[in-house]
Structure 1
Amino acid sequence: MAGHWTRGAAGTVLAVVVAVAAAGCSDSSGPSGGASKAASAAASAASSLASQASEALASASAEAKQKLDGVKNGVKAKDDVTLGAPTPGSDGRAEVRVTAKNTADSAKSFAVQVNFTDKGGNLQDVVVVTVKDVAAGATGEATAASHRKLSGDVHAVVGSALRY
């Protein structure tokens, strides 16, 4: 079950764009010309925020891939990992509890890729968390936190998991 969070800066910018557009615009000489300039500035800000979010996601995805690629002698263990429900942390970033069950006959660690998505399944952020030194037959826990604040209905899914 995902928590519902308040809308972020992109929602605020969208509200400004809608409000300014509703004020009307014609030429740049009258009062509505100022509204047109404000609408243009707001649209530019929204575009900039979207671009920054896209760049942050690309960077997070590359970092996650690099961390997983660095695991030596890892075996796929996605079925041995479960996630709790995401909640907003004290800093506003999404947090989710990661539980890994060690089905091996000796202590192992897990590298788990957590994909934070919106309610439509669109990827919002990617993190890799390590669950260290889980005893044979036992479970271990860690907390995965998004790199940035996420808004809306946030969901978390296991992207991949390696036991090593």
Structure 2
Amino acid sequence: MTRHGIPGLILAAAATAALTAPLTGCSDDTTPSGAASKAASAASAAGDALSSATADAGDALASATAEAGERFDEFKNGVNAKGDVRTGDVGTDSDGRSTTEVTVTNSGSSSRSYAVQVDFRDPSGNLLDTVVVTVDGVAAGATKDATARSNRTLSGDVTAEVSRAVRK
């Protein structure tokens, strides 16, 4: 399922305005007609809105990445356990956020807790969001599931991958 969202609509509006402006003509030597002027203003406003939406998404991703780093700080001296973790298919919950099941299999000889960073990506591999899931008390040789949920609504086709995992 592909959803274009607000940035796609803004870009479409800007393109439409830019393409229709030359068709409206000019009123005299160098003064654009009212319709052309309005189209140029609309294209400029659409560009400003797209820049703002892009900046907001970048801020949200930076915040999520910083929070993920802080959560991993709680697992100082943890052992790399990326091979013990896998994600399932990405779905959407009732709030419109992307979710995936995280399955941890404890390959150790005693009960362990895990911190798992899940990255949500678009089809081009661009990072859309990142979250950290803590899975406590996984018995030796046992498997335990948790759910990773994006921090915000993500649009388009979204995949999930384990970017890092540690156990302590």
TM-score scaled by length of structure 2: 0.90
Residue 141 of structure 2 is aligned to residue 142 of structure 1 = no
In the alignment, which residue of structure 1 is the partner of 2:137?
133
Residue 115 of structure 2 is aligned to residue 118 of structure 1 = no
Match of 1:23 among 13, 20, 23: 20
Residue 152 of structure 2 is aligned to residue 155 of structure 1 = no
Distance in 2 of aligned mates of 1:64 and 1:43: 32
The correspondence of residues 42-61 of structure 1 with structure 2, limited to 5 A, is 42-61=46-65
Larger radius of gyration: 2
Q: Is the 8 A contact 2:21 2:35 kept in 1?
A: no
In the alignment, which residue of structure 1 is the partner of 2:42?
38
Q: Is the 8 A contact 1:109 1:163 kept in 2?
A: yes
Partner amino acid, structure 1, of 2:102: V
How many residue pairs get aligned? The number is: 161
Instruction: Give the unaligned 5+ runs of structure 2.
Output: none
Residue 132 (structure 1) shift: 1.7
Q: Give me the CA root mean square deviation.
A: 1.4
In the alignment, which residue of structure 2 is the partner of 1:85?
89
Q: Percent identity?
A: 49
**Bigger mean CA offset, 64-73 vs 145-154:** 64-73
Q: Is the 8 A contact 1:106 1:136 kept in 2?
A: yes
Q: Deviations over 1:86-137 (max 9, x none)?
A: 1122111110100000111221111000011111111111100111211111
In the alignment, which residue of structure 2 is the partner of 1:14?
11
Distance in 1 of aligned mates of 2:111 and 2:76: 15
In the alignment, which residue of structure 1 is the partner of 2:110?
106
Distance in 1 of aligned mates of 2:6 and 2:91: 19
Q: Is the 8 A contact 1:28 1:34 kept in 2?
A: no
Q: Deviations over 1:6-59 (max 9, x none)?
A: 121111111211222222156565121011111100100001101111111111
Runs (4+) of structure 1 exceeding 6 A deviation are none
TM-score scaled by length of structure 1: 0.92
The SS at the match of 1:21 is helix
The SS at the match of 2:98 is strand
Q: Is the 8 A contact 2:97 2:150 kept in 1?
A: yes
